[in-house]
Amino acid sequence: MNLANLITLGRLLAVPLVIWLILAGDIETTLWVFIAAGISDAIDGYVAKHFNQRTELGALLDPIADKALIVSLFVTLGLAGHVPTWLVILVVFRDLLIVGGFLLSTAISQPMPWQPLMVSKINTTLQLVLLAAVLAQFAFSFDDHGSILILIYLVGATTVLSGAFYLIRWGRCLAGAEAQS
């Protein structure tokens, strides 16, 4: 356990706080915790890279912390009525599909490559922007001029595309057509 991993662990431990804050109706504080989590993600990456603190634990813990935060925010904001249910279902299903496919392929000795696809990186970025926009809109009650609705559809589209490309990758790995890493 090193500093970078401790920062990542702190981000993971912020997930229950974010859920509680949303359910308590404290969206403004949720926004600030979300921003702090984003900053901590950048800091732990910087510390790991520049101070030679990259570890296998960190390589596993970082995406788990990121996904736990993102999925928890989508589910909780969906339950609170701040994001559409269909989008919550897509986001959660895609992540379960990816994790399930990875675990299944590993169990049958055909592990999938660990690196995220470019469309998945775009999807995650759009998810983060959407979550920040939704939290900011509800915290400060401003007119977003339809930008949140556009983000909702962009996140929906990239979520479907990302899930489809992971299914294709999984199929190729099972067929032995894609190099394993």
- Find the CATH number of the domain harbouring 162: 1.20.120.1760
pLDDT by residue, tens only, the chain of 181 residues? 899 999 999 999 999 999 999 999 999 999 999 999 999 999 999 999 999 999 999 988 999 999 999 999 999 999 999 999 999 999 999 999 988 887 887 788 777 777 789 999 999 999 999 999 999 999 999 999 999 999 999 999 999 999 999 999 888 877 876 555 4
Instruction: Note whether residue 180 is domain-resident.
Output: no
Put residue 116 in one of left, alpha, beta given phi > 0 → left and psi -120 to 50 → alpha: beta
Inside any domain, residue 179: no
Rounded Cα distance between 18 and 126, Å, is 19
Question: What's the structural domain count of the chain?
Answer: 1
- Crossing angle of the two packed helices 85-107 and 56-79, in degrees rounded to 10: 150
pLDDT of res. 177: 62
3-state secondary structure of 117: coil
Q: Provide the residue range defining the domain that includes 42.
A: 3-174
Contact 158, 117 (CB under 8 A): no
Measured from the Cβ of residue 40, the count of other Cβ atoms closer than 10 Å reads 16
Tell me, yes or no, whether 81 lies in a domain: yes
Q: Are 139 and 27 in contact (CB under 8 A)?
A: yes
**CA atoms within a 13 Å half-sphere pointing along the CA-CB vector of 9:** 8
Instruction: Tell whether 168 is covered by a domain.
Output: yes
Burial label, 94 (beta-carbon count in 10 A; 0-12, 13-18, 19+): buried
Q: Is residue 109 part of a domain?
A: yes
For residue 179, the model assigns a pLDDT of 54
